[in-house]
């Protein structure tokens, strides 16, 4: 008899997984539509710079954004913000953060047109760390797996006791994926938002940095966002960046925190 209340409690816990910590401005449907039109047919080619030049440009950008990252950490009251930067010659267009380190791939930098765009990638990844997204994502995944396992076991047993184990395993897998995706797009939007502020604090022109989202749009070709996506579609991200830039140009100096 205790299983139903337990399932309800776990599902409520999953619904309350750790979300964003900022009041990220949401772009209007019209702004997203305009961004979708802007990105339609965008084709991206490598710049022709070599790996050594890409690495040097990344190092220059990193030197400029580090003080801005430190100030953003203070604004978030975050700890352990002495992040490292790891360069990879890997040709996959990628960059990511793990809570302590930022990883930058030559395969992404080779498409970026200027240092401001490189700085925005670094700022975006640093924002994930500042807002504790890697740890929050891990907690969401774990909580989703637990909730899914309990629900799967209950449903399996309701059908046939022999299916209880299979239900637990399937429920854990589905629940973990659901927990991981539950706020992933929220975190990406928040990192875009905070990243815009970091780039501004580092003294880069937001108009120069904005082209990053045209590059990402050309690389991904994704024009709409699905519930199964981990990132918002490029038009959503471009429109979101424009909303953040407008907020900054209107005089805002810091991302607006919740609470």
Residues 17-74 have pLDDT tens digits of 556 789 999 899 999 999 999 999 888 999 999 999 999 999 999 999 999 999 999 9
> Which strand (E) or helix (H) includes residue 196?
helix 184-201
Phi and psi angles of residue 170, each rounded to the nearest 5 degrees, phi first: -65, -40
- Tens of pLDDT along 60-84? 999 999 999 999 999 999 988 999 9
What is the model's pTM? 0.77
């Amino acid at each position: 008899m205790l299983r139903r209340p337990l399932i309800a409690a776990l599902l409520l816990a999953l619904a309350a997984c750790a979300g964003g910590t900022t009041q990220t401005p949401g772009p209007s449907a019209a702004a997203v539509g305009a961004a979708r039109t802007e990105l339609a047919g965008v084709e991206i080619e490598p710049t022709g710079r070599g790996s050594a030049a890409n690495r040097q440009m990344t190092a220059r950008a990193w030197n400029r954004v580090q003080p801005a990252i430190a100030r953003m950490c203070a604004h978030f009251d975050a700890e352990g913000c002495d992040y490292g930067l790891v360069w990879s010659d890997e040709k996959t267009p990628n960059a990511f953060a793990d809570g302590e380190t930022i990883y930058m791939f030559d395969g992404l930098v080779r498409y970026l047109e200027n240092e401001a765009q490189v700085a925005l990638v670094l700022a975006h990844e640093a924002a994930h760390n500042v807002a504790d997204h890697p740890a929050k994502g891990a907690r969401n995944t774990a909580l989703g797996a637990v909730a899914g396992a309990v629900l799967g076991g209950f449903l399996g047993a309701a059908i046939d006791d022999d299916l209880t184990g299979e239900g637990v395993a399937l429920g854990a897998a589905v629940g973990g994926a659901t927990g991981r995706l539950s706020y992933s797009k929220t975190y990406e939007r928040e990192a875009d938002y905070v990243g815009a502020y970091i780039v501004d604090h580092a003294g880069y022109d937001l108009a120069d940095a904005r082209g990053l989202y045209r590059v990402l749009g050309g690389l991904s070709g994704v024009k709409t966002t699905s519930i199964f996506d981990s990132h918002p579609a490029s038009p959503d991200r471009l429109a979101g960046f424009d909303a953040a830039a407008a907020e900054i140009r209107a005089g805002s100096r810091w991302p607006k925190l919740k609470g």
